[in-house]
Amino acid sequence: MTADEASLLRTAADRLEQLAARTTPGDWRAGGLLASRPEVIAHAPDGGTEHVAEARARTGAWIAALSPGLAAPLAAWLRAAADAPGPAAVEVARALLQRLP
């Protein structure tokens, strides 16, 4: 890996953490009464909840950053990591599998 590639990885990680810090916190889960219009609700560790749509100013950038366009490179990384899995790749896979249908 080149120094430029390492810098790219660190910069992406830093920006993702910064974005997460200003996004609606909590464990986001789909809920609501209508399957055609589910709500996304952030569940805080203290038991409180917040509708993510009501916090749009804080969540819009997060949703856009993690749009479906990220799926292909993320899946490729997970497949590549499967040959020599490191703890970070395993943690990402576990977190995804807890949320993916």
Same domain? For 40 and 58 the reply is yes
The predicted model gives 1-29 an average pLDDT of 86
Same domain? For 21 and 46 the reply is yes
The yes-or-no verdict on residue 19 having pLDDT over 80 is yes
pLDDT for position 33: 67
pLDDT for position 64: 86
Q: Give the range of the structural domain holding residue 32, as residue numbers without chain letter.
A: 1-66
Same domain? For 60 and 89 the reply is no
Output DSSP code: residue 37: S
User: Residue 49 to residues 58, 64, 97: CA-CA distances in angstroms?
Assistant: 15, 22, 23
